[in-house]
Amino acid sequence: MFKLVIATLRNMIGKDQHQEVAGGSSAIQAGRDIAVTHVGLTYAEARQVALDVFRANFFQLAGEAKEVARARAEEVTEEFLSKLEKENPSGLGKAQDPDFQYALFTVQREFARTGDKDLGDLLVDLLVDRSKQQQRDILQIVLNESLGTAPKLTEAQLAVLAVVFLFKYTQNFGVGNHAMLGTYLDKHVAPFADKLVKNDASYQHLQFSGCGSIGLGSIALEDILSRTYQGQFLKGFEPTEVEAQQISIGRDDRVFMPCLNDPAKFQVRANSHESLDKLLESLNVPAEDRPRIRTLFDQNKMSHEEVKNKVIEIRPFMADVFETWSASPMKNFTLTSVGIAIGHANIKRLVGEFADLSIWIN
């Protein structure tokens, strides 16, 4: 950090221009008016503050452990600052905020203790999200709490949070056919599929840690998929059904398409009731047509067992996900705000871009 002294001088030809500045300050002269702006901290300054935070707060270890801890703290600090500079460069100034310094130290401390690369990446993503919060609101509080909670969880428990969050709390509106659904599952589910656990103790610990609760009600994964991506699991209807329903727009290609599971038939061009309502609104479809189109959308749906078999046909690794979901408390598990934040960050660290956390926590 440094002080900046600005000298603003009028153009005074023939007059002596003289300045005196204090040590560590910068002096600037010009023959005309000038304006200089210094905003926040530079990368080097923020790095120095961050490392000072660790040195001032981490308990002293002996021998080799001390050097290992220091090296790990520097490693995670560099990764955080590098990601911050790309995603939120204005956040460098947060290094001067006491609450943010506490959050930063939490990341440094936990990574210094464990050296777990996956955990480090997860904490860095959470901390970058934390840097974007300008005031003490619910999202900032949740992110602070998440930084302290994530290190208490195993890799398997973190995978559970990611998969439960993905299926129970999100929908990908870009999935338009089975190939796209498969690609989506490859990217968002496959990295966690072989890490999921069934034992009750893991879910009880997730509940104890404040990440969620094990409820009495349950929901099958195939039920979730049949609702969220209903358009992928339709058996279709005969083309004459459009006329039979007296739909005035006819078999409009913007609303109807060949059935994904039976090309000889047709289906409505939507994945869910929500996406269908948005489509009909955007196309200004007459009000009297809308309930008739919804009726066709809900005709000839696959059973839950057929949905499960179709998904496994598309991506065989999903067989294990279905089995773990049904044989564990995953089907009963509801996430808290902290569980959502950690699940969100765990997906984001692998896939890169993901919808902003404020969609779920606001």
Do both 166 and 222 map to the same domain?
yes
Do both 192 and 259 map to the same domain?
no
Do both 83 and 200 map to the same domain?
no
- Select the more confidently predicted residue: 333 or 76: 333
Percent of the chain predicted with pLDDT > 70: 84
Residue 250 has pLDDT above 90, yes or no: yes
Do both 146 and 161 map to the same domain?
no
Q: Which residue type occupies 182?
A: G
Q: How far apart are CA 211 and CA 336, in angstroms?
A: 5
Range of the domain at 187: 155-227+305-359
Residue 96 has pLDDT above 90, yes or no: no
Classify burial at 56, counting beta carbons within 10 Å of its beta carbon; exposed 0-12, middle 13-18, buried 19 or more.
exposed
Q: Which two tokens stand for residue 4?
A: 């900046």
Do both 199 and 342 map to the same domain?
yes
Residue 55 has pLDDT above 90, yes or no: no
Do both 292 and 317 map to the same domain?
no
- Which residue, among 308, 233, 228, has the nearest Cα to 274 in the 3D structure? 228
Q: Which two tokens stand for residue 10?
A: 């009028």
Classify burial at 316, counting beta carbons within 10 Å of its beta carbon; exposed 0-12, middle 13-18, buried 19 or more.
exposed
Residue 89 has pLDDT above 80, yes or no: yes
Specify the pLDDT at position 354: 84
Do both 273 and 343 map to the same domain?
no
Q: In the predicted model, what is the mean pLDDT of residues 226-234?
A: 97
Number of residues that this document lists for the chain: 362
Q: What stretch of H or E contains 297?
A: helix 290-297
Do both 125 and 59 map to the same domain?
yes
Q: How confident is the model at residue 41 (pLDDT cuts 50, 70, 90)?
A: low
Do both 181 and 269 map to the same domain?
no
The last residue of a domain, from among 300, 326, 350: 300
Specify the pLDDT at position 227: 94
Q: How far apart are CA 298 and CA 288, in angstroms?
A: 17
Q: In the predicted model, what is the mean pLDDT of residues 167-173?
A: 94
Q: What is the DSSP letter of 299?
A: S
Residue 258 has pLDDT above 90, yes or no: yes
Q: How confident is the model at residue 101 (pLDDT cuts 50, 70, 90)?
A: confident
pTM beyond 0.75 = yes
Residue 190 has pLDDT above 60, yes or no: yes
The last residue of a domain, from among 270, 285, 300: 300
pLDDT in tens, 133-154: 888 889 999 999 999 999 999 9
Q: Quick one: CA dihedral 300, 304, 308, 309, positive or negative?
A: negative
Q: In the predicted model, what is the mean pLDDT of residues 88-116?
A: 83
Least confident span in 80-89, 164-173, 321-330: 80-89
Q: Which two tokens stand for residue 97?
A: 């905020």
Percent of the chain predicted with pLDDT > 90: 61
pLDDT in tens, 296-311: 999 999 999 999 999 9
Backbone angles phi and psi of 90, in degrees to 5: -65, -15
Specify the pLDDT at position 61: 64
Do both 241 and 266 map to the same domain?
yes
Q: How confident is the model at residue 33 (pLDDT cuts 50, 70, 90)?
A: very low
Do both 79 and 194 map to the same domain?
no
| Helix residue ranges per DSSP H, 61-137 | 63-87, 98-114, 117-131
DSSP string, 170-222: ---TT--SHHHHHHHHHHHTHHHHTT----HHHHHHHHHTTSEEE-S----HH
Do both 136 and 84 map to the same domain?
yes
Specify the pLDDT at position 147: 93
Q: How many domains is the chain partitioned into structurally?
A: 4
- Select the more confidently predicted residue: 90 or 199: 199
Q: Which residue type occupies 91?
A: G
Answer for the pair 334, 211: CB distance below 8 angstroms, yes or no: no
Specify the pLDDT at position 27: 42
Residue 272 has pLDDT above 60, yes or no: yes
The last residue of a domain, from among 300, 315, 345: 300
Q: How far apart are CA 38 and CA 58, in angstroms?
A: 31
Answer for the pair 193, 268: CB distance below 8 angstroms, yes or no: no
Answer for the pair 51, 77: CB distance below 8 angstroms, yes or no: yes
- Select the more confidently predicted residue: 18 or 165: 165
